[in-house]
A and B are shown apart, each in its own frame.
Chain A
């Protein structure tokens, strides 16, 4: 088995139509109010999905409806719950959002309860995945852009061992051949360990923003609402505890790992050009890969 990739064609017109058919912007405004409070009103007054949102929506939700409709879905690292909500609107029978930051979990649960939606949100880390899958009898797992924040390989093995049927993956990735591997090192590697199949890039980061990494060694001391780890309980700044590593993997490595772990690749797409996002601090959203995997047994 090998992973075949096609290039993603971001059909924004189609995605926008699907978005308009499924997503109730009044619900989004309410979600925002539950999460960010009154300060979100101005931001959400004329809310329109950006191209980056539509691209993620299309590739993770709309194009994966066969893995979502009628299924129990777990959204690992659900952040503000936008795609958990989108999964529900695309027919998920039940959605469990998993997120360590209370500011999201509390607000989203209040929103969901108000509408009696089949959604619930748990304040948990990725390490709780095996128990959560069993407890909630999950059929489908969404893992959108979580690969840089957590031990991705461990979670993929958790999924492979589980009864989950589908995995929707959005991965950050590095080019296949970003740098040449020294011939001598490559030959030694082959002789001793096997064929090199890719590389990873690690970079140091700090959990000082709402989207930053969470240091697994100091989770117990993180602010339960924001997840910040740079302020200690006595109010002092503690940069050491907020420091962590983020990891990017190469396309070849990701493909090989998926193959090695034994998943069946139903779909593999990669973004061919960056998407400009005027509402983001970054000029463009990075290049993603999307996989729809089946977890067939036997």
Chain B
């Protein structure tokens, strides 16, 4: 049985000068959504929907823009099927691309890298139950 699962992540950009930009890419299974920030404090909601088998599935938010040290991105909130995930958002890890250093429970990506978290399909307690 497959469960259509929609994940949204609200991301805010921290862009230190007008020449910089920050591109992020959200992925769930084979579904991808990308956004490029060009202004400081811009906020954007990225959404992906995938048909998932029951179980845990990784959601990844990749901060691209290698070689651009003048920008960062902050994960503001996360929603599964439109419902906020609450504390679960801290069950994440961020791996910096260059150093390979992994930090748990970090919502700020100051350098290009990948932020990962698992979502469970089906998401219990959400929707009509």
B54–A278 CB distance below 8 A: yes
**B82 lies within 8 A of A228 (CB):** no
Q: Does B101 sit at the interface, judged by CB under 8 A?
A: no
Interface bits A186-209 vs B (CB < 8 Å: 1, else 0): 000000000000000000001011
Name the CB-closest residue of A to B123: A281
Name which of A41-49, A129-137, A151-159, A160-168 contacts chain B: A41-49
Complex-state Cα separation, A133 to B9, whole angstroms: 40
Complex CA gap A293/B27 in Å reads: 51
Cα A40 to Cα B79 in complex, Å, equals 11
Q: How far is the CA of A209 from the CA of B49 in the complex (A)?
A: 21
Residues B124 and A40 in contact, CB atoms below 8 Å apart: no
Bitwise, B103-129 to A at CB < 8 A (1) or not (0) is 000000000000000001011111111
Complex CA–CA separation, A109 to B82 (angstroms): 18
Which parts of B1-50 form the interface with A (CB within 8 Å)? 1, 3-6, 8, 47, 49
- Inter-chain contact A230/B129, CB cutoff 8 Å: no
Chain A interface size, under 10 / 10 to 19 / 20 to 34 / 35 or more: 35 or more
Asked if B81 is an interface residue, CB under 8 A from chain A, the answer is yes
Contact with B along A20-43 (1 / 0, CB 8 A): 000000001000100111111111
Contact B87 A279 (CB under 8 A): no
**B49, B79, B83, B122: the one within 8 Å of A278 (CB):** B122
Q: Which of B79, B82, B88, B128 has the most CB of A within 10 A?
A: B128
Known A-B contacts: A32-B128, A49-B128, A281-B120. Give 11 more (CB < 8 A): A36-B126, A39-B8, A39-B81, A42-B5, A43-B6, A43-B81, A43-B82, A237-B87, A242-B87, A278-B54, A282-B124
